[in-house]
């Protein structure tokens, strides 16, 4: 079987070698238009067929119209063989199929394109020479030509409009043969850009989602809470989400829950700007805010809506790690007059993110806040922002160890 050239057009990849299919010889009997020969060659190339025989083409051969319509299947046309009779065209063939949409009242097996393709593939694998004949555009094959074939191939089409374009008929046969040869494999599949989410990540996401839904009294009436929870979890289970899916969904839930503003409503700060805001507050506010509760809450909401890159990364890592589920960590939350990066009131633990470059005043404010919290029974764990960015998994492992150590007597 010869090779076909790579064809121009959408989806064509010239870097890949042409497909090799042990398929049939395509015989066009007295084709009337060069355009139809070219389109038939294009259909052959689509499915790895390369041997074309022509019996008395009406407008002669070669044909410039055929080459124009072939859309790059030039090699098939270049190697096409010309014959004067059908008998000559099939003389070296051991198995011949005749395609027709009409019953010819001949005692001859009639098969579908799929069944024909199975037999063609098996016979070709044994080294047999197999051919499929296609008739004239106007009225197809004559009875005497059908009589020369071993099988009749007919297509399941609308009986009230059964006429197929010549290239369409060739394409259907080529498609079924290529399916057999390739094991029905598709040329590409959906890329796996992220691994499937693990049960621990799903569980942490569910707990966060249910916690936020509880805050807005979604589970009503209370006696239906269990059923509603199961239904919610089943929705996500049917999705088979990836790790990236869960991270994205968690971000969506938290953005809604925290009321984060988009650019059209005043914008959010990017990571660098959020870092500068914290530096400014640390240097001029000494790590504290006024004693009135209103400004404390307002400033904590501002900081929560505008996280630094390190805060965002650590928060996502925490909520997606099953080991931290149920430990009650909150982000940018007031403790007294101080606003802590992360705090767990049940554990009385504060995670303090330390920026890579810090002024003396900011470092002093951080130390003062840690001392104030320590005096009130909080354990402050310093976390370098650079470590979060470059090794969030390692940071989480160290936090787990620190929490476990606190629990030991």
Query: 148 in a domain, yes or no?
Result: yes
* Band (81; pLDDT cuts 50, 70, 90): very high
- Do 139 and 238 belong to one domain? no
- Do 392 and 368 belong to one domain? yes
Query: 10 in a domain, yes or no?
Result: no
Query: 9 in a domain, yes or no?
Result: no
pLDDT at position 34, please?
93
The total of structural domains in the chain comes to: 3
197-211 mean pLDDT: 87
Last residue of a domain, which of 182, 214, 235? 182
With 0.85 as the threshold, say if the pTM is over it.
no
Instruction: Please tell me whether residue 209 adopts helix, strand or coil conformation.
Output: helix
- Do 361 and 250 belong to one domain? no
- Do 57 and 118 belong to one domain? yes
* Band (286; pLDDT cuts 50, 70, 90): very low
Query: 3 in a domain, yes or no?
Result: no
Query: 400 in a domain, yes or no?
Result: yes
- Do 61 and 122 belong to one domain? yes
- Do 219 and 282 belong to one domain? no
362-391 mean pLDDT: 88
Query: 263 in a domain, yes or no?
Result: no
What mean pLDDT, rounded, does the chain reach? 83
For residue 231, give its domain range. Answer: 190-258
* Cα distance between residue 344 and residue 335, in whole Å: 11
pLDDT at position 65, please?
93
Last residue of a domain, which of 150, 182, 214? 182
Last residue of a domain, which of 182, 211, 228? 182
266-273 mean pLDDT: 60
Select the more confidently predicted residue: 372 or 277.
Answer: 372
- Do 125 and 83 belong to one domain? yes
Select the more confidently predicted residue: 277 or 212.
Answer: 212
CATH classification of the domain holding 287: 3.40.960.10
Strand 95-99 to 25-29 pairing: unpaired
Find out whether 80 and 55 touch, Cβ atoms under 8 Å: no
pLDDT greater than 50 at residue 195: yes
CATH classification of the domain holding 154: 3.40.1280.10
CATH classification of the domain holding 220: 1.10.8.590
- Do 248 and 296 belong to one domain? no
- Do 43 and 170 belong to one domain? yes
- Do 275 and 394 belong to one domain? yes
Would you put residue 56 in left (φ > 0), alpha (ψ -120 to 50) or beta?
A: left
283-292 mean pLDDT: 50
- Do 222 and 315 belong to one domain? no
- Do 283 and 397 belong to one domain? yes
Cβ count within 10 A of residue 285: 15
Above pLDDT 90, what percent of the chain?
Answer: 36
Query: 1 in a domain, yes or no?
Result: no
375-382 mean pLDDT: 91
Cα–Cα distances in Å, from 196 out to 202, 240, 261? 10, 7, 31
pLDDT at position 11, please?
55
DSSP assignment of 96-146, as one string?
EEEE-SS----SS-EE-HHHHHHHHHHHHHTT--EEEEE-BTTTB--HHHH
Strand 329-335 to 338-344 pairing: antiparallel
Find out whether 326 and 211 touch, Cβ atoms under 8 Å: no
pLDDT at position 265, please?
45
pLDDT greater than 80 at residue 75: yes
Query: 15 in a domain, yes or no?
Result: no
């Amino acid at each position: 079987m010869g090779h076909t050239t790579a064809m121009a057009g959408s989806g064509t990849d010239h870097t890949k070698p042409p497909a090799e299919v042990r398929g049939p010889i395509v015989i066009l009997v007295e084709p009337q238009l060069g355009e139809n020969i070219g389109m038939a060659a294009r259909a052959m190339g689509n499915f790895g067929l390369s041997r074309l025989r022509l019996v008395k083409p009406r407008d002669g051969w070669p044909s410039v119209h055929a080459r124009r319509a072939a859309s790059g299947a030039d090699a098939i046309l270049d190697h096409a063989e010309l014959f004067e009779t059908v008998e000559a065209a099939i003389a070296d063939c051991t198995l011949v199929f005749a395609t027709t949409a009409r019953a010819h009242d001949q005692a001859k097996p009639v098969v579908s394109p799929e069944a024909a393709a199975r037999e063609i593939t098996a016979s070709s694998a044994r080294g047999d020479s197999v051919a499929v004949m296609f008739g004239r555009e106007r009225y197809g094959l004559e009875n005497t030509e059908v009589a020369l074939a071993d099988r009749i191939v007919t297509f399941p089409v609308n009986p009230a409009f059964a006429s197929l374009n010549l290239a369409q008929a060739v394409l259907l046969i080529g498609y079924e043969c290529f399916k057999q040869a390739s094991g029905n494999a598709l040329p590409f599949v959906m890329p796996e850009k992220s691994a499937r989410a693990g049960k621990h990540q799903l569980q942490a996401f569910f707990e966060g989602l249910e916690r936020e839904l509880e805050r807005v009294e979604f589970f009503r009436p209370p006696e239906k809470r269990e059923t509603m929870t199961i239904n919610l979890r089943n929705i996500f289970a049917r999705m088979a989400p990836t790790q990236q899916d869960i991270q994205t969904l968690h971000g969506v839930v938290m953005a809604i829950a925290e009321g984060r503003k988009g650019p059209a409503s005043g914008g959010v700060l990017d990571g660098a700007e959020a870092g500068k805001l914290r530096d400014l507050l640390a240097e001029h506010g000494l790590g504290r805010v006024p004693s009135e509760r209103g400004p404390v809450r307002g400033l904590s909401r501002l900081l929560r809506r505008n996280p630094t890159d390190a805060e965002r990364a650590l928060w996502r890592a925490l909520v997606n790690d099953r080991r931290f589920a149920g430990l009650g960590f909150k982000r940018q939350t007031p403790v007294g007059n101080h606003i802590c990066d992360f705090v767990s009131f049940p554990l009385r633990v504060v995670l303090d993110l330390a920026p890579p470059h810090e002024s003396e005043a900011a470092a002093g404010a951080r130390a003062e806040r840690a001392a104030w919290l320590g005096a009130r029974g909080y354990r402050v764990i310093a976390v370098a922002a650079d470590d979060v960015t470059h090794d969030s998994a390692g940071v989480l492992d160290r936090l787990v160890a620190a929490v476990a150590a606190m629990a030991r007597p």
